[in-house]
Amino acid sequence: MTILVDQNTRVLCQGMTGWAGTYHTYRMIQYGTNVVAGVTPGKGGKPHLDVPVFNTVKEAVAETKANASCIFVPPANAAAAMIEAIEAELPLVVVVTERVPVLDMMRVREVLKGSKTKLVGPNSQGVLAPEICQIGVMATDRSKKGGIGVASRSASLTSEIVAQLTAHGLGQSTTVGIGGDAVHGIGFVDCLELFFADPETKGVVLIGEIGGNEEESAADYLKKAGLKKPVVALVAGKYAPPARRMGHAGTLTMHASGNAEAKMTTLKEAGVVIASSAHLVGETMSELLAKRAA
């Protein structure tokens, strides 16, 4: 099985008629994703890529029973597009748009609270269930259907690690890009919960990096809920150049999260196996599963 998407996922694309929307919607359709509608205000009624286009998400859902959205809307209007999709009660909204203002994301998070939507992103490469459904812009050529769940904060690094997993004979149940922005939708914890609940996912890979609190939250969750399946993590950025600082050091230390070492330590304490380098993630998972089987 997969998480978030499956063979019954019916996708609508917000911002489908722009150049990025057009290009990626075409790729998604080629991949086999069931794209049932596009939404661009003012362009309703004119099909695009042989897909019907609507003025609003609500209309599109009513007409096509879409149950997921992929958002390509530019930053200035991305938050409004997310809110429209959440208010239309779409169960899954994937946001590819980069550079959304952080206060706009706070507004989205307020609307998200208590809603029926799982928001992925913004600044996400998307969600991929190999050979079943692609929502987003990721490379798909080296992905393969299988039993590893992947949750990550970084797009191109995910493609690399998916390729490694496939090379080690490990297909993927679903890959989820939670996005690179500070304020975002679902995180590592949500992904772990979903992967643990999915009987076909045999192991989980977390691709983290410095900054933010995703890795710390994941470790806290695993310490409380228990490590139900093998988890391998990579934390990139051990040797990152120090960011230019302006605020008082203390404030930033208190609220910025730990460095790569601290993140690795807390994940290790939760039972996660740390891949020592980005090129060793596939190998680390493969060895871990072999050890478990033995």
Partner 1 sequence: MDLHEFKAKRLLSGYGIASPEGRVAVTADEAAGAAKELGGAVYVKAQIHAGDRAKAGGVKKAESPAEARKIADELLGKKLVTPQTGPAGHAVKRVLIESAVRAQKEIYLSMMVDALDASIVVLGGKGGSGIEDRAAHGKGLESLHLGLNGERKAGDIAGFCKRLGFTGAEAEKLAATVKNMHRAFIELDASLIEINPLVFNEKGEMVALDAKIVLDDNALFRHPDLAGLREEDEVDAIELKAQQHQINFMQMDGNIGIVVNGAGLGLATLDMVRAAGGEPANFMDIRTTARSLDIAQGIGLVLDNPKVKVILVNVYGGGMQPCDTIIEGLGIAFRRKGRILPLVLRVTGNNEDIARVRIESFGLPKTQSTDMWQAATRAVAIAQGRA
The residues carrying an active-site annotation are 248
- Sequence-ordered list of residues with C-beta below 8 angstroms from that of 211, at least 6 positions apart, any chain: 182, 237, 256, 257
Single out the segment in contact with partner 1 by CB under 8 A; choices: 36-44, 57-65, 85-93, 148-156: 148-156
Distance between CA atoms of residues 155 and 237, nearest Å:
15
* Contact pick of 42, 114, 245, 294 for partner 1 (by CB under 8 A): 245
Q: Is 153 in the site for partner 1 (CB under 8 A)?
A: yes
DSSP 161: H
Q: Is 137 in the site for partner 1 (CB under 8 A)?
A: yes
Q: Which residues of 19-37 are buried (b: 16+ CB within 10 A; e: fewer)?
A: eebbebbeebbebebbbbb
Please name every residue paired with 233 in a beta bridge, in sequence order, or none if there are none. 206, 274
**Least distance CB 39 / partner 1 (angstroms):** 20
| Binds partner 1 (CB under 8 A): choice among 155, 165, 191, 194 | 155
Contact residue for partner 1 among 207, 231, 272, 285 (CB under 8 A): 207
Q: How far is the CB of 15 from partner 1 (least distance, A)?
A: 14
Interatomic CA distance for residues 5 and 174, integer angstroms: 8
Query: Do residues 282 and 171 make contact, with C-beta atoms less than 8 angstroms apart?
Result: no
Maximum CA extent, the chain:
60
Report the interface residues with partner 1, using CB under 8 A.
Answer: 20, 23-24, 27, 75-76, 98-107, 109-110, 125, 136-139, 141-142, 152-160, 163, 180, 182-183, 207, 209-210, 212-213, 217, 234, 236-242, 244-251, 253-255, 277-280
